[in-house]
Amino acid sequence: MKAPKTGVMLVGWGGNNGTTFTGGILANKHNITWHNKKGEQTPNYYGSITQASTTKIGCRGTEEVYLPLNKIMPFVDPNELVIGGWDISNMNLAQAMRRAEVLDYNLIEKLTPYMEKMVPLKAVYYKDFIAANQETRADNILNNANKMEDVEQIRKDIREFKKANDLDKVVILWTANTERFCKVEAGVHDTAENLMKAVENNHPEVSSSTIYAIASILENTTYINGSPQNTLVPGVIELAKKNDVFIVGDDFKSGQTKIKTALADFFINAGIKQESVVSYNHLGNNDGRNLSSEAQFKSKEISKKSCIDDILASNKVLFPHSIKIDHEIIIKYVPFTGDSKKAIDEYMSSIFLNGNHTLVLYNVCEDSLLAAPIILDLILIAEMFERIWYKIGDQKEFTRFNKVLSTLGYLCKAPLTDVDCPLVNSLGRQKEGLNNIFKACAGLHCDDNTLLEFKCPVQKQNDSKQTQENQQVSA
């Protein structure tokens, strides 16, 4: 199966994530080496599950056999991605990369000739939705009379980008500032028809991220929401279904939350009752600056707080009536920290005979270096699902997965699901589910980790007997 020529358009292209992602792709594509205090460095895709993780495909004798995901499924080659996008700042990508202060200086110097030619398109900017402190960066914005004109301009940008680069398809991904939650209203956000009317009427509670989602869907282009705000309101979901377009959300799951969902799984499966989770972090990048505003922080708080609810609810022995734990989120802006986010988590639990157990973690998360490979995976996996069709039993027509692509929940803090789909936050279950879908598509057995072929003597005897019979037949 030949992979299609694919482009990605990032909303917030000139931010820390966008420049790090673009620089990483270019470094790998051109095999750029650079020096830092540890010596010569070479590019890689560490942190990407499509490029740097493996999954078991079976056994050869007593040896388990593993393959990288990109050897099981024909993903688009990340080095072949064509990158573009929008930003409220008019800096070219080389200038923006320097401003971000994420990559090593020597690598920045080597990437500059490639990235100084990359300039973001003018972006939709509704200043009520992001922190006031971002206004000084907003020198590259659309000045249309109403929101429907903004939709049409973004649609035009997508079409022109696709044509100019001779692309088969494009994926749109939001990696811009966290917005405040929009106030979801009946008659405005509840249906696709009402939402489009609200756009035409310039309704103040239609956010800029929702404008991008609408434009993306109308251009038959998958849309991924990498921030915690409620971009994908019911009207957007209905519009996606009507147009047979995938949507994915919400919020990249990169560091602190990924560990939190893994630990919640561990505690619950060990029969240990979580009583308190306190998550503190401080960071000094522009994301932290934006989150220093209360309305934008609330969006992030909701995303971070909801990530373990379904895991706790799965154990009615520990939580027989309701889930009630103390769960607090604190985020502080400390400019000197830069992109190296410092996270401290305290987990308190009840154990045997009502004793107390406390676990404290200190975690330095290189924010954009962790987010960039997740952005890559979201793009590659979402694109792959556009090419997967299936039918069940005697079903005459092939069909595709649900338009709300909850299968990508492993990569999201607050996985968006359709109304009739269970919410799964457990990190292990999310990854196993994704791996098994890909293995099924490749005609491989799904792994249940029972290893019965090694644990059941009867099975071994039968296998041995069958082997002897086969040898006799061969003779």
Q: Which sequence positions are flagged as catalytic?
A: 251, 300, 341, 413
Q: What are the distances in angstroms from CA 90 to CA 11, 85, 153, 245, 290?
A: 13, 12, 17, 30, 18
Q: Pairing state of beta strands 340-350 and 273-283?
A: antiparallel
166 Cβ contact partners less than 8 Å away, ≥ 6 residues apart: 5
d(CA 17, CA 287) in angstroms, rounded, equals: 10
CB 270 within 8 A of CB 264: no
d(CA 199, CA 226) in angstroms, rounded, equals: 22
CB 50 within 8 A of CB 130: no
| Strand partners of residue 327 | 277
3-state helix vs strand vs coil in the chain, percent to 5 = 45, 20, 35
301 Cβ contact partners less than 8 Å away, ≥ 6 residues apart: 329, 331
d(CA 429, CA 331) in angstroms, rounded, equals: 28
Instruction: Give the relative orientation of helices 16-29 and 367-386 as an angle to the nearest 10 degrees.
Output: 70
Cα angle 6, 367, 18; round to 5: 30
| Strand partners of residue 55 | 67
Closest CA to 122 of 216, 29, 212: 212
Closest CA to 126 of 146, 156, 155: 146
Q: What are the distances in angstroms from CA 27 to CA 32, 434, 440?
A: 5, 28, 33
d(CA 103, CA 432) in angstroms, rounded, equals: 32
Helix/strand number for the chain, H first, E second: 17, 14
C-beta neighbour count of 439 within 10 angstroms: 21
Closest CA to 248 of 92, 100, 138, 407: 407
DSSP 8-state assignment for residue 252: B
